[in-house]
A and B are shown apart, each in its own frame.
Chain A
Amino acid sequence: MSMLLLSLKALLSHYWRYPWQALFLLVGLCAGVGLWSAVQVINSHARASYEQANQVLGTQAHFWIRAANGTGVSTQDYTALRRLGFREVYPVVQGIITTATNQRIPLIATDPIVLPAEVLQTNTSTVAFNDLAFIQPPYQAWFPPDLANELNLTANTRVLLKNGQTLPPAILQTQAQQGRQVLLDIAPALKALQRSTLSYLAVTPLSSERQTQLEQALPPHLRLIPNRQSLDLTQLTQSLHTQLTAMSLLSFAVGLFIVFNAVRFSLWYRRPTLRTLRLIGVSVQTLMLAIGLETVIWSIVGSSLGLLIGYGLSQILLPAMSASLQSLYGANIGSHIILQPTTVLLAWLLTLGGLIIALALPLWQQLRLPVLPSHSLSTYWLTDQRTRRYLLLAAIGLSILALVLYPLISTLIQGFILLGIVLLAGAWALPSLLALSLTLLERLLPKHSFQGRWLIRDGWAQLPALRTAMMALLLALTANLGVEALVGSFRTALSDWLEQRLSSDLYVQGSSSFDLATLRANPSTATWLKAVNERTQVTLRYQDQPLVLRGLDHSAPDTQELGITQALPQTINLWRNLDTQQNWVLANEQLHFLGSKQIGEKLELQTPQGLKPFTIAAFVHDYGNPYYQLYIPNRVLKTYWPQPEPWNISLWLNNPSDLPKAEQALLNAGAKAGDWTVQQTIKAASMKIFERTFAMTAAINSLTLWVAGIALLAALMAILQERLPEFAQWRALGVNTREQWLVMSVPLLLWASITWLVALPLGALLSWLLIHKLNVMAFGWSMPLLWSMRPAGVLALMTLGVIAITLVVVAWQLKRQLPQTLARLGGQL
């Protein structure tokens, strides 16, 4: 036992002597664990928030009562239910308000007085309202901190709205279930939204007997709907979370490369220690146990620090994430992040696993070495050559596996596994490519050049130490290029699509009191109004997921321009010609890719007259829509659903300068300021949502690149330490600084260039897989791949930057340590 402890102590003492090695090991561990756990924390936090999605202010809403035609629930209907004794029912108003500065804020309101906190004999309450200020003028508007920050709000500020109303004085606080929305009392909320009806009534858990009673008590225009929000959100957002997890695992892998390097070097440095320990009689088993213990210690320290960093990172990344989830899926994410025990345990196990993998090979190599020193450098070199060969063979094997797997993948997780295999194959083939480049360079250089030969030979000596760092760099560069191409392609596709979709000049909200008939009846309207598209909607469930039926004016300009991806020419004309024989519908791509529907296929939909078949005439692009959606001409829609929910009305102007005239006409037709939005605002808001969604991916991505940079620095530092005596000898032999730098930097630059070159096709392959496979499987939308050399150029500069920084650090270290080493060398002589 004491032998084990002594060995452990001897092994650990190394890090006191070389603290930078401990530092790099920690950096690797922290980088890997940190990024991974940040994503884990965010994902599990978001999922927990979906669980709470069916809660309003901590109260379980197991059911909703909604108007059958989607128009909202009247106060009279609500109080009628209360007077019948249904105290399980409480009112909710939800909506989006537009500020005077064109920011859109989600808003939720309820009547705190009737929130079901069971009355007597309990001291539990759902909300700690401070006083009646919440429910009486001037009221209060509770802002969650991230929303307040976004709006630069200070306490008691009153936000001015576009419709001329002001919100009550802002109270900045954190309400667990408030999410990213402003909480108000119903009275000021109705005023701010300029509405008179409640959005829905929330209902607490009901016994089946009570449910029947409530259903019987409901007037025909109201429906009791089970609240499936959390289930739906979990399903809908799964892809996004899987994507983020995959990104974080990539970071973990890059972190692991650093760890691998650090562990290798630390073992290499401790060869004398290991040898001495074995010479004084410590068995291989005891040594392995001691190294195992050291691994456990590192894993605990590394994962703890990594988790701390991850927690901090998640705090930084969460606002962007919750904004995305809110915009895309309507999911409200609270701002209280909790580190779950499972995340902590998993982080530790991953770290331990990673360390063991990183340790296994070098340890095996190390302990197989004879106790007495031999020609260690050549042994090392030979080992490296062998390792390179094994890696190349493994890479070829993986490439074949990827080719075989490619046609078989059908789920997102399988897709990411394929992506991992491709990346790993690329990384493992890299050392052989680097060696090949050196061989080719050797051929190119004049044979008689002494310096050239020296340079090449020295390159061979550096290769074993640098190849791992280059592999990490390759992974980071590839991932960056791939994601850049994905984001770039998506931005272009989305922007073009929005251009088509948002061709009208004005959009009037469906909930507005605006009356289109009044507008049309006015003779002066014809002077400015070019076209109108009145959109309606009906929400159903299909394949146990929400399905939206969007009613359109089939002759409107934007309907003519729907971004069609697949269609049979005659069927699309039938759709436009209102062929009611077949009930032709246009479906979004999501229904094709995620719902596995084909052109010409029939969907059986539940209409008020029973199940009716609808045939898919074409698929259209529908970026950002998490739901299945069908497009039906209004006239056809209304034959089955006579009272669809109004969605919005688009207006095209004859001339952009007619805008003031049009706005005045809208006011005259009953609309209120804030009820309509001009095209640019919607387009900007849509783009912002997607920028935010990908900001998270981009952030993780660039962090990965920095981690790779650190890996490179760590490797070079290790080489420097290792070779300091050698450099000292060179100096003693009269090699000047320029020559020394040439020898050191040329192979490095050569390999960085090769790595960058390899990253280009690999990045293209990655982006191709991301766009054509993973994105389609994750979100159900397709787009053309756009490859641009600009990100590649930027990455080349960044890599050069990292190398430059590394060389500067190395130069500084060399300058500091060389005299000392020279002195030591002199002493040895």
Chain B
Amino acid sequence: MRIRWLCLLLCWSAISLAESATQEVYQVLRQDASGYAAVTPHRTFNFPADHSPHPDYRIEWWYITANLTDPEGKPWGIQWTLFRQSLTPKPILNGWESNQMWMAHAALSTPNGYFPAQRFARGGIGQASVEAQPFAAWLDDWAWQSHSANPFPSILKFTVADWELTFELNSDKPWVLQGDQGYNQKSAGNQASYYYSQPHISITGTATRQGKSTPLTGTAWLDREWSSQPLAPNQQGWDWFSLHFKDGYALMVYQLRHTDGKHWLSGSWITPAGISQTLKAEDIVLTPQTSQTIEVLKQGQPLRLTLPLAWTLELPKLNKRWQISTPYPQQWMAAQFPYWEGVVEVDGGKNGMGYMELTGY
């Protein structure tokens, strides 16, 4: 599960500059979902139709992260995310009066710096959307475009700062339905989402800046998730990991931090062939190791923030134990609602690479 709920709040806070209290913003995600479609168990997923928007649900996203390597073997990373939100329950899909709001986040992590960007658009006028035939997801010129209804093979093109990025994405592995056949429960209460992933995407492309191109190659991860009421009142934020191991296995783990310290843990262990095994709270031991203080911008204000940038992750039943750390501590998405998201190494890069997201700090 990828709970980038916080990011979605940007849809609200983008034009809500007066809004600064985090709790206030969280409240939006805890709003009553009445009027919107409810997330219930035993849904049958239907591909490629489910790659398209589900406007009856309040929020939804298409979330790509990728671990890349340059010719010198140094780690790079990209994040490309498209968020949709229905501002009111009954979806209005076309025209300027559409109640569909779109937001996109993109970031490039390089050995020489981190470059984030954020964009907004309203739905209904063609400035941003996700279309099924052929599959295309875009906001302005940030575009992910396939030739068929299947999202792979496809081209991902976007710009951040003065970088121009173009990648080819490919995958022939089955879709991974997270949680209980795609029904992803997030609390003991009603909070849940529909959630599927493609953890095995091969990616190649170039990052071009001032006429100089760097070829990049690696593994990408796509998450698709939609919901109407994603967050419980006592959940403060989350720590989320997607890891690619050298042996071809992949792992997704998250914890929703509860105010009482009894965090909600979940995850999945995915074989190189794309067969997944759901991990329950008792299967996961996630322990923060060292904290690091970094300089960040929050609502435009510079401040020093201490974040748990190194972790120990154990799966006792599978007899696995890894050290997670980041080579680039400065991967702060200084969007209007900010969070840390970026490249991490498994055991110093010896056993794999991945992406980590820390929110609510």
Contacts and interface: CB of A to CB of B under 8 A. Distances in A.
Contact of B12 (A83, A84, A128, A132): A132
Greatest chain A CB density within 10 A among B96, B116, B126 is at: B96
Contacts of B14: 113
A87 B99 CA distance: 22
B87 A119 contact: no
Contact of B15 (A82, A135, A190): A135
Given A130-B16, A134-B15, A186-B96, A85 B120 contact: no
Interface stretch (B223-231, B246-254, B297-305, B339-347): B297-305
Contacts of B335: 119-120
B163 to A, nearest CB: 13
B110 interface: no
Given A75-B126, A111-B122, A190-B96, A128 B18 contact: yes
A5 B83 CA distance: 77
A129 interface: yes
B265 interface: no
B78 to A, nearest CB: 16
A441 B95 CA distance: 85
Nearest to A93: B96
A82 B102 CA distance: 14
B287 interface: no
B238 interface: no
A79 B126 contact: yes
A186 B95 CA distance: 10
A122 B300 contact: yes
Interface string A59-84: 00000000000000001101100111
Interface of A: 75-76, 78-79, 82-85, 87, 111-114, 119-125, 128-132, 134-137, 185-187, 190-191
Nearest to B99: A136
Contacts of B120: 113-114
Contacts of A78: 125, 127
B236 interface: no
B117 A79 contact: no
B169 interface: no
Interface stretch (B135-143, B183-191, B272-280, B322-330): B135-143
B87 A83 contact: no
B88 A136 contact: yes
A83 B141 contact: yes
Interface residues of B, number: 35
Contacts of A136: 87-88, 99
Given A123-B299, A135-B122, A136-B88, 18 more contacts: A75-B96, A79-B127, A83-B127, A84-B141, A85-B141, A87-B140, A111-B122, A113-B101, A119-B117, A123-B300, A125-B17, A128-B17, A129-B16, A131-B12, A132-B16, A135-B15, A136-B87, A191-B97
A79 B300 CA distance: 29
Contacts of A130: 16, 18
A120 B116 contact: yes
Interface string B12-33: 1011111100000000000000
A82 B140 contact: yes
B334 interface: yes
Contacts of A75: 96, 125-126
Nearest to B120: A113
Contacts of A187: 95-97
A699 B336 CA distance: 51
B127 A123 contact: no
B146 interface: no
B170 interface: no
Contacts of A76: 126
16 contacts: A79-B125, A82-B141, A83-B143, A84-B141, A85-B140, A85-B159, A87-B119, A87-B140, A113-B14, A120-B118, A129-B15, A130-B16, A131-B19, A135-B122, A136-B88, A187-B97
Q: Which 8 A-B pairs have the closest CB atoms?
A: A123-B300, A85-B141, A187-B96, A79-B126, A187-B97, A129-B15, A79-B127, A119-B118
Contacts of A137: 88, 97
A240 to B, nearest CB: 37
A731 B88 CA distance: 91
Nearest to B116: A120
Given A75-B96, A83-B127, A122-B300, A132 B140 contact: no
A659 to B, nearest CB: 34
Contacts of A82: 121, 127, 140-141
Nearest to A84: B141
A78 B95 CA distance: 13
B227 to A, nearest CB: 19
Contacts of A132: 12, 15-16, 87
A83 B157 CA distance: 12
A112 B120 CA distance: 10
A92 to B, nearest CB: 13
Contacts, number: 85
Contacts of A79: 125-127
Interface of B: 12, 14-19, 87-88, 95-97, 99, 101, 116-122, 125-127, 138, 140-141, 143, 159, 297, 299-301, 334-335
Nearest to B161: A120
A113 B96 contact: no
Contacts of A185: 96
Contacts of B122: 111, 113, 135
Contacts of A113: 14-15, 101, 120-122
A82 B300 CA distance: 26
A25 B122 CA distance: 64
Most buried by A among B97, B120, B301, B335: B97
Given A113-B121, A132-B16, A132-B87, A121 B334 contact: yes
Contacts of B15: 112-113, 129, 131-132, 134-135
B15 to A, nearest CB: 5
Nearest to A75: B125
A122 B116 CA distance: 12
Contacts of A85: 140-141, 159
Give the interface centre of B87, B126, B299 by most chain A CB atoms within 10 Å. B126
Contacts of A119: 117-119, 335
Contact of B17 (A111, A129, A186): A129
Contacts of A186: 96
Nearest to A119: B118
Q: Which of A82, A84, A114, A135 has the most CB of B within 10 A?
A: A82
Contacts of A111: 96, 122
A124 B143 CA distance: 27
A670 B286 CA distance: 68
A119 B159 CA distance: 13
A187 B92 CA distance: 12
Contacts of A191: 97
Contacts of B299: 123
B192 to A, nearest CB: 25
Contacts of A135: 15, 122
Contacts of B97: 137, 187, 191
Contact of A83 (B116, B140, B334): B140
Given A84-B141, A136-B99, A114 B121 contact: yes
A130 B118 CA distance: 20
A136 B141 CA distance: 25
A131 B140 contact: no
Contacts of B117: 119-120
B131 to A, nearest CB: 12
A199 B295 CA distance: 44
A134 B96 CA distance: 13
Contacts of B138: 83
Contacts of B96: 75, 111, 185-187, 190
Nearest to A133: B15
Nearest to A111: B122
A124 to B, nearest CB: 8
A71 B173 CA distance: 51
B329 to A, nearest CB: 18
A87 B121 CA distance: 11
